[in-house]
A = this chain, B = another copy of it.
């Protein structure tokens, strides 16, 4: 069906599609155990029709199918679980790499699922367009993965979350192709696009996505501010969000994360900066990165408005160096983890979102849960996505690794954090559910919510071949 050369059964090829990029994935890759799930084969279809044909064969032979994009899941989303199936394949979508069409008048582009972030920008750039979706996984992750997991990019305040960009979806399902999205907005029943987006391969394999695009911005302007403490910082971001004055990138670090920046950021003259801030009443700073992208006119207009509000909120301008250094290092985080692992560090991130009235309490509770579980540790936090009604909280955790049981150490800490989140916020703001968050989904969407998802799955995938053991 796809050609023999596009069915890989070698150990290296199968192992490469067996895990994502969570801390536990990295540990498991370093010390594989016998129960480590690996796909029986990797299949690489060329286009949506071949994806559909492969699914039909898998239904006939009752083979589980794990869609695989960039392999950047940090929640076990690409783990090769087989559920009740005797065999399971990784369906690698890397060959679905085309820009299918551009409708510049409607600012729409159809991209295939396997296109990675940089390639999407390159393809759109040829038409003078951009998607503007830049999550930390940008360099490896794919259009299909962004859609399947409800990704949110670092510039989500300006460009929106990925689901805001999705205007149409084409899915391959065991019951045939499914296409959604005929208009920018509709009252023709529930928005099924929003059911496909976030379905994590359980309701179909996303093969093409129709996306809202924008003109590539001629001007990018990033800068840094400092606020006197977390509460002041969160209040300032809330003020921006509630007055439609958010920069395209708006990212507030708490005191601990700011201290790490001050210690490690070579582009900052730390001593002088501390003195400058202290003289302006900011003894323990929280850094705020703000970045605008657009025409010179638009950036100037919006920057003036953001600056006006930030000043009223007590923010002190730090300048361009802080913004630019963040921008240049924005995708580096994941690459540093291997080095830290080599040094015996437990390093991981987790995230949530809540309404503003819960944000401070949620941050306190998650920090307390993590530190009391891990003992000696550094827990940093930032807000990277702000809304009128609330914000995301993103935690970066560093701890001394328990070498006798490193996996158990993190599983206990993560469970403590998830318990702290439940009831106050969402179990995931942009990392999705996968395997790791599945136990907490019921508390968030209700038993009925889980049953509705299962019923939807049964309708499109009656024999349950799609991504067994994920989401629900």
Query: Bound complex: CA of A446 vs CA of B214, how far in Å?
Result: 29
On chain B, the residues within 8 Å of A163 by CB distance are 191
Are B188 and A195 within 8 A (Cβ)? no
In the complex, the answer to whether A190 meets B195 with C-beta atoms within 8 Å is yes
Which residues of B have CB within 8 Å of A426? Answer: 182-183, 185-188
Contacts of A173 in B (CB 8 A): 448
A153-175 with Cβ < 8 A to chain B: 161, 163, 167, 173, 175
Q: Which of B199, B424, B446, B452 meets A456, CB within 8 Å?
A: B452
Kindly report which residue of chain B lies nearest to residue A187, judged by CB atoms.
Answer: B150
Contact size range, A: 35 or more
* Contact indicator B429/A183 (Cβ below 8 Å): yes
Q: How far is the CA of A455 from the CA of B429 in the complex (A)?
A: 27
Q: In this assembly, does A212 line the interface, its C-beta being within 8 Å of a C-beta of chain B? A: yes
A161 partner, pick from B105, B185, B357, B446, beta carbons under 8 A: B185
Asked if A10 is at the interface of the complex by the 8 Å CB criterion, the answer is no
Give how many copies assemble into the complex: 2
Tell yes or no: A471 within 8 A of B by CB.
Answer: yes
Q: Report A187-221 CB contacts with B as 1/0, cut-off 8 Å.
A: 11111101111111001000000001010000000
Q: CB-nearest residue of chain B relative to A454?
A: B459
A106 to B355 CA separation, bound complex (whole angstroms): 6
Decide if B455 touches A184 in the complex (CB within 8 Å): no
> Which residues of A from 451 to 472 have beta carbons under 8 Å from B?
451-456, 458-460, 471-472
Residues in B neighbouring A103, C-beta threshold 8 A: 355-357
- Interface stretch of the complex, out of A265-273, A328-336, A388-396: A388-396
Are B200 and A149 within 8 A (Cβ)? Answer: no
A124 at the interface (CB under 8 A from B): no
Distance from A190 Cβ to chain B, minimum over Cβ atoms (Å): 4
> Is the CB of A131 closer than 8 A to any CB of chain B?
no
Residue from B182, B243, B452 in contact with A195 in the complex, judged by beta carbons closer than 8 Å: B452
Given the known A-B contacts A180-B449, A199-B190, are A185 and B152 also in contact in the complex, defined by CB atoms under 8 Å?
Answer: yes
Q: Given A389-B167, A390-B106, A452-B192 in contact, is the A425-B212 Cβ separation under 8 Å?
A: no
Chain A, residues 212-244, CB within 8 Å of chain B (1/0): the string is: 101000000000000000000000001000111
Q: Which residue of B lies closest to A386 (CB)?
A: B184
A384 CB to nearest B CB, Å: 12
Residues of B contacting A34 in the complex (Cβ-Cβ under 8 angstroms) = none
**Residues of the B chain whose Cβ atoms lie less than 8 Å from the Cβ of A437:** 188
A354 at the interface (CB under 8 A from B): yes
